[in-house]
């Protein structure tokens, strides 16, 4: 697992499809759904940690893009 797409595919295995319209929101919802799967012991710690790490990096990138756009105004 290396990308947000891979995390989305993991969630789809559990019947979870995430599309809220904004990438930032999608990533945040994926984090929430991953945490719920982990809490219910459907994901092992390794998979959960890797997926959360991927989402954290991507969310940070997305927030930086937004801040950059706001700074340009």
pTM of the model as a whole: 0.90
Look-up: residue for tokens 């390794």? 46
Structural domain of residue 59, as residue ranges? 4-72
Q: At what angle do helices 23-39 and 45-72 cross, to 10 degrees?
A: 160
Residue 70 has a pLDDT of 80
CA nearest to 30, candidates 58, 2, 66: 58
Q: What is the reported pLDDT for 73?
A: 64
The CA distance from 37 to 28, in Å, is 14
Q: What is the CATH number of the domain that holds 28?
A: 1.10.287.760
Give residue-wise pLDDT tens across range 12-70: 999 999 999 999 999 999 999 999 999 999 999 999 999 999 999 999 999 999 888 88
Cα angle 43, 56, 52 (rounded to 5 degrees) comes to: 5
pLDDT at 66: 86
Number of domains in the chain: 1
């Amino acid at each position: 697992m290396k990308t947000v797409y891979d995390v989305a595919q993991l969630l789809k295995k559990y019947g979870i499809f995430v599309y809220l319209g904004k990438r930032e929101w999608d990533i945040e919802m994926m984090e929430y759904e991953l945490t719920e799967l982990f809490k219910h012991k459907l994901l092992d710690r390794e998979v959960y940690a890797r997926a959360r790490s991927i989402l954290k990096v991507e969310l940070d990138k997305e927030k930086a893009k937004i801040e950059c756009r706001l700074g340009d105004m």
